[in-house]
Amino acid sequence: MDLNLPIKDGISATFEITRSTDARVLVLSALDSEQDVLRSLRAGAHGFITKCCQAHVLLRAIRQVHQGDIIFAPEIAVMLQLEEVNSPDEVRGFLRRLVTSPRVSGRELSVLKGVSRGLTNREIAEELVLQLTTVNTYITRLNRKLGSQTRIEMFISAVRQGLIPSPFHTGATLRSK
């Protein structure tokens, strides 16, 4: 499925196809922004590869999607942070969380990772080369998006929603502010 169809956009077409048939949709697009990928997945796509792929890669992707696999071009997998997800069940769970989680920008995610490491707002600002007031704004936005009021609640919500890994799997510790 191309996202830039002349009569109907590929997202709408993907949604209609996956809701009304058992067909599986593989997106093949020149567009590769995170928003395009997530919109495709929400519409029911089973994979996303870029038009710059080689013919044998496209053929293999079509076969794999037909067999029930979920496929991403390597650069899309990196963008979605799927590099460490191995089994099909892990991929499906990760994608389910990804498309239902609150939309967090890349910079908000960087701040969230700093919070998860127990850094203070000042330490996060220094590490990300941001103003302290900017970090405070990101913290406020994250609290609103995650429905939290404290850093601990923010951290727990982010882990539960799959935005950041659980410290129990990585050996990380959380310091209080």
pLDDT for 2-56, tens place per residue?
A: 877 777 788 788 888 888 888 888 888 776 677 777 778 777 888 888 888 788 8
Bridge-partner residues for 29, per DSSP? 50
Residues 125 and 69 reside in one and the same domain: no
Residue that wins the pLDDT comparison between 102 and 158: 158
Q: For residue 143, what are the domain limits?
A: 106-170
Indicate the pTM of the whole model.
0.50
- In this prediction, residue 166 carries a pLDDT of 65
Residues 82 and 27 reside in one and the same domain: yes
Give which of 108, 103, 92 is closest to 35, Cα–Cα: 103
Residues 114 and 94 reside in one and the same domain: no
Residues 22 and 95 reside in one and the same domain: yes
Of the residues 73, 100, 127, the one at which a domain ends: 100
The CATH number given to whatever domain includes residue 95 is 3.40.50.2300
Residues 75 and 131 reside in one and the same domain: no
The CA–CA distances, whole Å, from 91 to 82, 95, 151, 168 equal 8, 6, 28, 20
